């Protein structure tokens, strides 16, 4: 099972919006509405930010939003803040292994 494709880096200035893409196939991202996004600060465990494409767990700011079109899912962070600087990983259910698959991760820099 190949990893989902994410850009290695993304950046934006405070207050701006940035969108991170996550491209898979019809056997994972495109076939199921089970895309999730995780934020990981250096030295910390990942944290769930978005599940089922666009749902936010309790406590996650509404500046974080998710969407999907075809085989590509996206995470948008609006009103960028310094604390949003982190690595972001997408994940999807993968029919090929009846498990999940992660993207390679995107390092978000707040300029």
Q: In angstroms, rounded to a whole number, what is the distance separating the alpha carbons of residues 64 and 84?
A: 10
State yes or no: residue 103 binds another protein (CB under 8 A). yes
Q: In angstroms, rounded to a whole number, what is the distance separating the alpha carbons of residues 25 and 9?
A: 21
Nearest distance from residue 8's CB to another protein, in Å? 10
Residues comprising the chain, all counted: 111
State yes or no: residue 26 binds another protein (CB under 8 A). no
Which of 77, 105, 108, 110 touches another protein by CB under 8 A?
Answer: 105
State yes or no: residue 34 binds another protein (CB under 8 A). yes
Nearest distance from residue 13's CB to another protein, in Å? 26
Residue 90 and residue 3 in contact, taking contact as beta carbons nearer than 8 Å: no
Which structure tokens are listed for 57? 């767990």
State yes or no: residue 64 binds another protein (CB under 8 A). no
State yes or no: residue 79 binds another protein (CB under 8 A). no
Pairing of strands 9-12, 106-110: parallel
Q: Give the torsion through C-alpha atoms of 41, 92, 101, 28, to 10 deg.
A: -150
Question: Residues touching another protein: how many (CB under 8 A)?
Answer: 26
| Residues engaged in binding another protein (CB under 8 A) | 1, 3, 32, 34, 36, 38, 40, 45-48, 51-52, 57, 89, 91, 93, 97-105
């Amino acid at each position: 099972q190949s990893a989902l494709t994410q850009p290695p880096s993304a950046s934006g200035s405070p207050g701006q919006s940035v969108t991170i893409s996550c491209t898979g196939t019809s056997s994972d991202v495109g076939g199921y509405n089970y895309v999730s996004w995780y934020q990981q600060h250096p030295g910390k465990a990942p944290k769930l930010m978005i599940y089922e494409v666009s749902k936010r767990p309790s406590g996650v700011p509404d500046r974080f939003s998710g969407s999907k079109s075809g085989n590509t899912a996206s995470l948008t962070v609006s009103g960028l803040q310094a604390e949003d600087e982190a690595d972001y990983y997408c994940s999807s259910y993968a029919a090929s292994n009846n498990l999940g698959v992660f993207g390679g991760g995107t390092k978000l820099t707040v300029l």
